[in-house]
Chains A and B, each alone.
Chain A
C-alpha cells in the first residue's frame, strides 16, 4: 500500500545549531493511527507541526501523496491535512457553527465566503460527531471537551485525508479521553490517517496500530504497540517502572509506584 504521508531524514532546529530532532523517518498509510510517545520537551509537537508546514524542517522531506509539501501552498496542504492543536481559545464569541464553517477556508478563494454547499458540509461534520445541539452556542462558553469536539468538526469540514492531533487527550477528563480515542478510531475506520502525540502509553494500546517513542532527537523504537510499549522501553523513556498486563479485551500499560 502506498503511504499517504511520509517523512524522510527530517531534522529541525529553532536556532540553526541545537537540533530538536534529526534523521527521523516514518510513513503513515491509509487508516493508520500513528502515535508518538515521549517525555515532555522531546519535540513531539514540533515534529507534528513539521508535517503540515506550520514549521519548516532544516533538512529532509515531507511527502504528502508522494508530493513534496514544500512545493504545495498552505491551502493545498490544508485540503489534505487537518491539524488539531493541544488547546484552543478564541477571543471572540463566535457561534459553534461559524467556527466549524471556518474549516471551509482552504476550499474557498481569498474573496469568497462560504455558501449553501459549505453550510451543508459543516452541518454534516457536526452531525457526525453528534454535537449538532451545540451549533448556536458561543464557542467561548462551552466546556473544554466540547471545544475539542468542535475543533475536530472544524477539521473534518476541511475534508482532509490526514489528521494531526497534538496530545488530543491532555486537557480532557477521564471519560472524554476515552471518547476522543473512540472518535479517532472511528475516523480512521472511515479511511482517515491519523498522526497523534500522547503522554499516555496506555492509550496507544487502545487506539493506535503504530507507535514510535521519541527520545534524544530521534525515535528509539517504532512498531506495533505490543512491540514498542515494553517495560524496558517505558523505563528508558519515562524513568518509571510499568507492568504490561493482559486485561481480557486488551493489553494495558500500568505504572507502578516509585519505591
Chain B
C-alpha cells in the first residue's frame, strides 16, 4: 500500500519535472522547505509559551486519527489564535504576489503592482465607510471587498468610453480612479470621530493580521483560492500575452477574454486580501521580482514561485510584527521598511536592466 503511494508520488513528481526545465522545478521545490519550517516555527511565537513538541502533537492529534488529546488551552492557542493568523499571512502573501506577477505580465511592465486599477484604494474606502457607519468587523470586510470590485469596475467602464481601449488607457483610468478613492479615504478620515473611528480607520489602512479569526478565513479564503487556481491554470498563456497584444492575437490567443480573466481574478484576490488584513503594500511589486530573479521570467514557473515566496515573506513579516516590540507593528509599515531596502539591494545585485 505504502509502496504504491510512493510509486504514484514519484510518478507525479516525474511528470511534473518533465514539464518544467529540471533546474527551475527543483528550485521551486527547494523554496517550499523554508516555508514549511517557518510555518511550524510561527506557532512557537507569542506570549503563551508553546514547545515544538506541543505543535507537532497538536497538529497530529487534529488532522490524523490519534487516541490522545491535547489540553483545551493549548488547543485554543494553536487552532483558534495562531493557526488562522499563520494561514491568513500565507494566503494574503501568496495572493498579493501572484496577482502582482500576473498583472506585470498582463501590462508587460515589471513595475506594476496589483493595486494599479484602483482595487486597493476602493477597498480602503469601502472599509473606511463601514467604520464611519459603525458597522461590525464582518461588514468592514465585506464593504472593503465590494469597494475594491466597484473601483476596478469603474476603471473598466471609464476606459471603455475612450476610443481604442488599450491596456494603457486602462492603467491611466486606474490612476484616476485610485486617486479619486484616495481622496474619499482622506475625506472619511476628516469627518470621522477623532477618538473612536479615526484611529480604527488609520490602523485598518496600515494593515494587520492581529484580529484574524477562522471565520474571516472561511469568508475570504475561498475567493482567494479560486482566483489563485484560475491564474495557475492559465499561467502559460500569460507568457504569450506578455509578447504584445497583436502578437498574442496572431498566435491565436483570444486576448479580450484572457485579459478579462486575469483582471477579474486579480481583482477578486486582491480585494479579498485587503478585506482580511487591510492595505499591505510592496509585496505585490517586490515578490514577483524576487521570484523572477530566482526562477526566471517564464510565468509557468514564476507564478508558483511567487506564491511560495509571497507566503513566506508575509509570514516572516507577521512574525516580526508580533515579536519585535511589545505592541504590534502594522504590517504595511514593516513590508515597506523591510521590503524597500531589500528591493533596492536586489536591484543593485541583479543583472537585468529594465530599459
| Residue ranges of A at the interface with B (Cβ–Cβ < 8 Å) | 49, 52, 54, 73-79, 81-83, 85, 88, 90-95, 98-99, 102-103, 105-106, 108, 110-116, 154, 158
Q: A73-B254, A105-B237, A114-B236 are in contact. Are A90 and B249 (CB under 8 A)?
A: no
Please name the residue on chain B nearest to A81 by beta carbon. B250
On whether the beta carbons of A106 and B251 are closer than 8 Å, the reply is: yes
List of 7 A-B pairs having minimum Cβ-Cβ separation, nearest first: A78-B252, A106-B252, A75-B252, A83-B250, A92-B297, A113-B236, A111-B233
On whether the beta carbons of B234 and A92 are closer than 8 Å, the reply is: no
On whether the beta carbons of B252 and A74 are closer than 8 Å, the reply is: yes
A115 to B15, CA, bound (A): 10
Q: List 10 A-B contacts (CB under 8 A).
A: A73-B252, A79-B252, A82-B250, A85-B244, A85-B250, A88-B247, A91-B109, A102-B251, A105-B253, A154-B251
On whether the beta carbons of B254 and A74 are closer than 8 Å, the reply is: yes
Let me know if B298 is at the binding interface, CB within 8 A. Answer: yes
On whether the beta carbons of B252 and A116 are closer than 8 Å, the reply is: no
On whether the beta carbons of B296 and A95 are closer than 8 Å, the reply is: yes
Among A52, A54, A76, A94, contact of B239 (Cβ-Cβ < 8 Å): A94
How big is the B interface, by class? 20 to 34
Among B258, B298, B352, contact of A94 (Cβ-Cβ < 8 Å): B298
- From residue B248, how far is it (CB to closest CB) to chain A in Å? 8
Among B233, B249, B298, contact of A74 (Cβ-Cβ < 8 Å): B249
Please name the residue on chain B nearest to A104 by beta carbon. B251
Of listed B247, B250, B253, residue having the most chain A CB within 10 A:
B250
A74 to B245, CA, bound (A): 13
A114 proximity list for chain B (CB < 8 A): 236
A52 proximity list for chain B (CB < 8 A): 250
- From residue B9, how far is it (CB to closest CB) to chain A in Å? 20
- From residue A85, how far is it (CB to closest CB) to chain B in Å? 6
B300 proximity list for chain A (CB < 8 A): 113
A49 proximity list for chain B (CB < 8 A): 246
B243 proximity list for chain A (CB < 8 A): 88, 90, 99, 102
On whether the beta carbons of A74 and B253 are closer than 8 Å, the reply is: yes
On whether the beta carbons of B252 and A102 are closer than 8 Å, the reply is: no
Within 8 A of A (CB), among B93-143: 105, 108-110
B244 proximity list for chain A (CB < 8 A): 85, 88
A90 proximity list for chain B (CB < 8 A): 242-243
Please name the residue on chain B nearest to A101 by beta carbon. B239
On whether the beta carbons of A113 and B19 are closer than 8 Å, the reply is: yes
A185 to B236, CA, bound (A): 33
A108 to B240, CA, bound (A): 12
Let me know if B71 is at the binding interface, CB within 8 A. Answer: no
CB-defined interface of B208-242 with A at 8 Å, one 1/0 digit per residue? 00000000000000000000000001111101101
A77 to B18, CA, bound (A): 30
- From residue A197, how far is it (CB to closest CB) to chain B in Å? 15
B252 proximity list for chain A (CB < 8 A): 73-79, 105-106, 158
Q: A92-B297, A98-B298, A102-B240 are in contact. Are A78 and B246 (CB under 8 A)?
A: no
Please name the residue on chain B nearest to A157 by beta carbon. B251
On whether the beta carbons of A98 and B239 are closer than 8 Å, the reply is: yes
On whether the beta carbons of A54 and B246 are closer than 8 Å, the reply is: yes
A158 to B247, CA, bound (A): 13
On whether the beta carbons of B239 and A102 are closer than 8 Å, the reply is: yes
A91 proximity list for chain B (CB < 8 A): 108-110, 242
On whether the beta carbons of B254 and A75 are closer than 8 Å, the reply is: yes
Please name the residue on chain B nearest to A103 by beta carbon. B251
A74 to B234, CA, bound (A): 17
B242 proximity list for chain A (CB < 8 A): 90-92
On whether the beta carbons of A85 and B251 are closer than 8 Å, the reply is: no
On whether the beta carbons of A78 and B250 are closer than 8 Å, the reply is: yes
A78 proximity list for chain B (CB < 8 A): 250-252
Of listed B243, B248, B249, residue having the most chain A CB within 10 A:
B243
A77 to B252, CA, bound (A): 7
A158 to B250, CA, bound (A): 10
Within 8 A of A (CB), among B278-307: 292, 296-298, 300
A54 proximity list for chain B (CB < 8 A): 246, 249-250
On whether the beta carbons of B18 and A116 are closer than 8 Å, the reply is: yes
Among B109, B254, B352, contact of A93 (Cβ-Cβ < 8 Å): B352
A106 to B255, CA, bound (A): 12
A74 to B240, CA, bound (A): 14
A132 to B108, CA, bound (A): 27
A93 to B247, CA, bound (A): 16
Among A76, A83, A110, A115, contact of B234 (Cβ-Cβ < 8 Å): A110
- From residue A123, how far is it (CB to closest CB) to chain B in Å? 13
A102 to B249, CA, bound (A): 12
B240 proximity list for chain A (CB < 8 A): 102, 105
On whether the beta carbons of B352 and A85 are closer than 8 Å, the reply is: no
A78 to B246, CA, bound (A): 12
B18 proximity list for chain A (CB < 8 A): 116
A54 to B251, CA, bound (A): 11
B237 proximity list for chain A (CB < 8 A): 105, 110
Of listed A95, A102, A106, A154, residue having the most chain B CB within 10 A:
A102
A154 proximity list for chain B (CB < 8 A): 251
A85 to B249, CA, bound (A): 12
